[in-house]
Structure 1
Amino acid sequence: MNEFVDLFSTAETENITTSVQLLLLLTVLSLAPAILILMTSFTRIIIVLGFVRSGLATQQMPPTQVLIGLALFLTFFIMAPTLQEVNDQALQPLFDEEISLDEAYERASTPFKEFMSEQTRQKDLALFLNYTGAQTPESIDDIPITTLVPAFVISELKTAFQIGFMIFIPFLVIDMVVASVLMSMGMIMLPPVMISLPFKILLFVLVDGWYLVVKSLLESF
């Protein structure tokens, strides 16, 4: 009788553990879009691509789906070493039941922390550390993920806007030149954007703009 009770208790405990693991897995999957946006290079890439389209003033060309798709594949390309390390150090040992779920989480967070810390400004990280009253961390492992992620995000926003500003300058010059020429010719009623758009597209094509933008993004990481 006691053996039957022990067997029942063991089976019930295993079922509870499996249910908890399944719940945690579903939670992670539901947070996957936020993780992709906030803990990878996706934020910087999609903002810069958005600046390119705004600078060209081509409305919905390229379409938003194309920009997001390009940003996703560039993100996977840039994050490939980090994702490979997560797979080797955390996922595969977890699937082989060599480590626990908690240990897998710790191992998986380390590569992401290393990537984010390289792109995060000390000023931004200090802002959140000082707000929480935390002591200066001695290593990357001592930085809480809840502190590193927002610091990384605002650093990425600053970098993306800096790149976007540099992209806007040549387009702004073309708009100013076209507007000045139209004013001197007395064509006040003619929208300058209508005339400058072909010149901006021509300039962008001649200098191989997409190549330069993607190259700048890759070299910024």
Structure 2
Amino acid sequence: MKRVLPVRLFWSLIILGLMTAGVSHAAIAAPLGDNGGLSILTVTDGQTEQAYSVKLQILLLMTALSFIPAFLLMATSFTRIIIVLAILRQALGLQQSPPNRVLVGITLALTILIMRPVWSDVYDHAFKPYDAGEITLMQAFSTAEKPVREFMLRQTQQTALEQMLRIANEPLDQNVEDISFAVVLPAFVISELKTAFQIGFMLFIPFLIIDLVVASVLMAMGMMMLSPLIVSLPFKLVIFVLVDGWAMTVGTLSASFG
């Protein structure tokens, strides 16, 4: 596990070195059609079109795939949902139930469901035209960025966006369309963290009241040696199940994204 990151970093530096060194296209490109039908990246000089070699295309593709987990965490609804569910588990007084894998699975399923309009937009307007050969790869990336960017900006708070603009030394009065993705991404993450803790605080209050009531009753009965958490846990579980807490939590999370 310790060798994964250095290996990825090594290959990323190799690619960066090739790009910055200005290696000629003739050295790393092959004529179109020599790749056995596999053509992800192509270069053109206006008259002839060439495709990068299969090995280089696979290397670039595997490097891009390594960023998918980071994109899932930082540019979707995943962060807010997983934080709220983790706070809910802590508020219930449960340490390992549901397990982390179950929480991640639930979060991933909700993320796919909530982000489905965005994925559909990307598929219809970016992937389909690129697959049909109507647009280039870079045009597909530019088209796919728009719905993701719009989703992120809808969830981003103005104060967080202005703070990131100050950090980037960019003017605060520029149009939203002109703000770079490098500024939108951290602003979106900060906003998601703030919103997640706000929802988690509201979920924590009822369980905190139950803990206080149970602790007061135990002290009044002189049972100070008995932990209030042991007694309050069954009551919290029963109340949470009776009010259909999971459905309410999922509904609140879904509604928070508009």
**Does the TM-score normalized on the shorter chain lie above 0.5?**
yes
Q: Is 2:30–2:51's contact at 8 Å kept on the other side of the alignment?
A: no
The AA in structure 2 aligned to 1:70 is I
Deviates more, 1:63-72 or 1:162-171: 63-72
The one of 137, 155, 177 equivalent to 2:174 is 137
Question: Aligned-pair RMSD on alpha carbons?
Answer: 1.8
Q: Which residue of the partner structure matches residue 49 of structure 1?
A: 85
User: 1:166 aligns to what?
Assistant: 202
Q: Return the match for 1:185 from 221, 239, 251.
A: 221
Structure 1 residue 139, shift from structure 2 partner = 3.6
Who is 2:65 aligned against? 29
Q: How does 1:2-81 map to 2 (within 5 A)?
A: 10=31, 14-16=50-52, 20-81=56-117
Q: Relative contact order (alpha carbons < 8 A, sep ≥ 6): 1 or 2 greater?
A: 1
Shift of 1:191: 0.6
Tell me, which stretches of 5 or more residues in structure 2 are unaligned?
A: 1-28, 35-42, 44-49
Percent identity, please: 51
Which residue of structure 2 lines up, in the alignment, with residue 111 of structure 1?
147
Number of residues of Structure 1 aligned to a counterpart in Structure 2: 213
Distance 1:106 1:68 in 2: 30
Distance 1:19 1:103, change over 3 A: farther
Which ranges of 4 or more aligned residues in structure 1 deviate by more than 4 Å? 17-21
Q: Structure 1, residues 129-165: CA drift from partner, whole Å, max 9, x if none?
A: 122222333243x221111010000100000000000
What are the superposed Cα offsets for residues 176-199 of structure 1, whole Å, 9 maximum, x if unpaired? Answer: 011111111111110110000000
- Provide the rounded CA distance (Å) in 2 between the counterparts of 1:155 and 1:198: 34
Partner of 1:208: 244
Give the distance between the partners of 2:73 and 2:113, measured in 1 at CA. Answer: 15
- Alpha-carbon offset, residue 15 of structure 1: 4.7
Q: Report Cα offsets for 1:49-69 as digits up to 9, x if no partner.
A: 111110101221111111111
Q: Which residue of 2 aligns with 1:5?
A: none
More displaced 10-residue stretch of structure 1: 83-92 or 170-179: 83-92
Please say if residues 92 and 237 of structure 2, whose CA atoms lie closer than 8 Å, have aligned partners that are also in contact. Answer: yes
Cα pair distance change 1:144/1:104, threshold 3 Å: same
Work out the CA distance in 2 between the residues paired with 1:47 and 1:108.
27
* Counterpart position of 2:191: 155
Q: What TM-score does the superposition give when structure 1 sets the normalisation length? A: 0.90
CA distance in 1, matches of 2:88, 2:154: 25
Match of residue 217 from structure 1: 253
TM-score by length of 2: 0.78
What SS does the aligned partner of 1:134 have? coil
Q: Distance in 1 between matches of 2:101 and 2:143?
A: 34
Which of 83, 87, 103 pairs up with 2:119? 83
